[in-house]
Structure 1
Amino acid sequence: MDGDELVEILEDAGLSPYQADAFVTLLGLGSASATDIAQASDVPDPRIYDVLRGLEEKGYIETYEQDSLHARAHDPADVLADLRSRANRFETAADEIEDRWSRPDIEEHKVSIVKRLDTVLTRADELIRSATNQVQIGLTPPQFDDLSPALEEAHENGVDIKICLFPILSDESPVPSTDALSRACSEARYRDVPSPFVALVDRSWTCFSPHGGSTNEYGVIVNDRTHAYVFNWYFLTCLWDVHEVLYSARSDEPPMTYVDLRHCLRDIEPLLEDGRTIEATVEGFETETGREVSCRGTVTDITYAGVSASDGKTTPLNQLAGKASLTLTTEDGTYSVGGWGAMLEDYEATRITIEAVD
């Protein structure tokens, strides 16, 4: 390393340009008068005395009188310790910057990319505990064990919780007991293929991380209804609709509660075709104003873009993937009710309760 480069580094360490130049010059001279140091460096004669006193205050040199002001470099131990300490602080700062970049503040970003699954699980735990309406979650048995306290808390608060369990790669973790599932969810199913972790909370938050066999470990945390809607269909088609039922607290007799309009339509379509009278309560909000609503009335019609099943079979979910709604007639009028993401209907339903079937 040449002298100019050493001067630049000392400037980075906090010395002024003149102080760094004078100190490097003095290291080469050993000890010298102020005048000789000024002549051997680029420090102007009028500034040399202030520069040397500044170096002495910082502990780099000591001055003494010998006919005129002289200086010599201090034992470098203290200087070296200071420089090494600064290097460690720079290294620590670099690590902190990298860490903060990998986990941006969730409150300030709608989309957060994180490096560790633990971060995704921690955020999912927080969101589940604060849920007010519904949680859809796909996870492994060990992840269920980690999140079961949060799930139980939300379940006790009346949140509708659907759980899909799936295995870990090359691992035979036992499936949670019926008792454990009953405390944590409304329904649970099992998919026998390893899958990514996913949690959808109140139609707004999505927590996602690839399964253990993925090349890279990362996670995505998103606060966005459109993004959550896309993952809702992934959950319904890949993790829910066709898989084995492990546990269900649902009743086949009223009152029956639904947080998904399309599941409700599948169940009540045969009843309407038989001429039954269906009384229902719809909770949600007006699509035009966002105002919360709760109204009770009679379901008089259902509509969807797909083709109805024949021979009394349940209409496949894919036939309900397009526009789907029900018509509710109340004392105040007749209203169209859509599901998640409704735009054309009067209401978007967050919860539908079939109160009676006559």
Structure 2
Amino acid sequence: MNDLTLSEQLRHFGLSEKEVDTYLAILEQGEATASEIADVTGVSKRYVYSISEALEDRGFVDVDDHVVPTKIWARPPEEVMATLTDELAVMEPALSERYSRTERDVQQFDVVKSRVTVVKRIAEFISAADSELTLSVPSEHLTEVRDELQEAVERGVLALVLVNDTPPSGFDIEEVDGVATVVRTWEHATPLILTVDQQYGVVAPVEMVARSNTDQRAIAFAQQQIVPVLVGSFMGNYWSMADEVYIAEPRSLPAEYRSFRHAVLDATLHLRDNRPITVEATVTPSSGDPDHKTLTGTVVDTYQGLIEPMTNDFPVQNTLVVELEGGRVTVGGPGSFLEEYEASKITLTPQ
């Protein structure tokens, strides 16, 4: 480290330019008088006394004013660093407490530079999940967000988790019991991808998750136009390629669903177990008619790509086929365009 860089680093600890010059001069001398330091730094002897007292208060030097002339010693650098470390350690709890109170809102696009911040942001987003999330995470890092995932599942959130870069020896299914709704595994490494409630997302390259000393960057964002695209990429490029290893039991009915995908998943599981179900949904016609109406009928089939065997025609298709008095209709979730109706609220009931 050259002198310029060292000076800049010392100023980060609150030293002024003159204090840095004085301290470096004392370091080089080891022991010196105020006059000697004044000659080296080009400041007055009185100013050297003042600066030396400030440096002594910070633990950088020792000043002996009981001798004439006054002697100034540089303290061993390891002791100085220990003092600075202790100061930072004392500050950390107070800083953390204040930071938690003043957590800033997520920007539309936020470049994240450190692995620690990426993990923190992912944990925050999962904790805020209300209806559904998708997550692709390396197997060795699943434990870092395990608690947040478990709490999300307990809140009724649909959690589709792809555990990637799994070891050749296999994957212990007990690791995901209770922390996801559906789990797939893949031996290949993929980018870390998180989407939450069709609103928040995080994308991080593999290198950034695996290593702390990388120049790679992650992106966290809050963009309702972008998240559905990312979900489509997740479902089409990664989810469909992985192996299904775990499916949680469907919710007991009757149940109201905040996630349409979750309703399709549970309807699929109930139908496969020969348990007839009825759906009641608040819908609008996909043709563009803005009028809402309540649709009630029997669910007779589903089109989905959440679990095997997949029955959809494209990755993000999730459809309920409903038998009404006048015939069968198809119902999709928010933003659907192939189905006849788009549902905004949905309840499943045993028949």
Task: Tell me the TM-score range normalised by the shorter chain.
Answer: 0.5 to 0.7
- State yes or no: 1:175 paired with 2:174: no
TM-score, normalised to structure 1, is 0.52
Structure 2 counterparts to residues 83-102 of structure 1, below 5 A? none
Q: Secondary structure at the match of 1:194?
A: coil
- Corresponding residue of 1:77: 48
* Residues 261 and 352, structure 1, Cα contact 8 Å, conserved in 2: no
Structure 2 counterparts to residues 82-161 of structure 1, below 5 A? 106-107=104-105, 109-161=107-159
Structure 2 counterparts to residues 236-315 of structure 1, below 5 A? 236-250=235-249, 259-260=259-260, 264=264, 279-282=278-281, 297-298=296-297, 315=311
* Residues 161 and 187, structure 1, Cα contact 8 Å, conserved in 2: yes
Q: Secondary structure at the match of 2:130?
A: coil
- Corresponding residue of 1:228: 227
- Corresponding residue of 1:54: none
* Residues 208 and 217, structure 2, Cα contact 8 Å, conserved in 1: no
Alpha-carbon distance change, 316 to 347 in structure 1, aligned in 2, over 3 angstroms:
closer
- Corresponding residue of 1:210: 205
Q: Structure 1 CA distance, aligned partners of 2:106 and 2:184?
A: 35
Deviation per CA, 1:138-197: give whole Å up to 9, x if none.
Answer: 0012221000000011111111111000017xx76963433x312101110012210011
- State yes or no: 1:186 paired with 2:181: yes
Q: Structure 1 CA distance, aligned partners of 2:345 and 2:230?
A: 19
* Residues 208 and 216, structure 2, Cα contact 8 Å, conserved in 1: no
Aligned-residue RMSD, C-alpha: 5.2
Q: Structure 2 CA distance, aligned partners of 1:223 and 1:345?
A: 27
* Residues 264 and 320, structure 2, Cα contact 8 Å, conserved in 1: no
- State yes or no: 1:198 paired with 2:221: no
Report how many residues are paired.
248
Amino acid of the structure 1 residue aligned with 2:246: Y
Structure (1 or 2) with the larger CA radius of gyration: 1
Unmatched 5+ stretches in structure 1: 1-12, 15-59, 61-71, 86-104, 305-312
Amino acid of the structure 1 residue aligned with 2:159: I
Amino acid of the structure 1 residue aligned with 2:240: D
Amino acid of the structure 1 residue aligned with 2:48: A
* Residues 302 and 319, structure 2, Cα contact 8 Å, conserved in 1: yes
Alpha-carbon distance change, 303 to 84 in structure 1, aligned in 2, over 3 angstroms:
same
Question: Kindly, what percent of the aligned residue pairs are identical?
Answer: 19
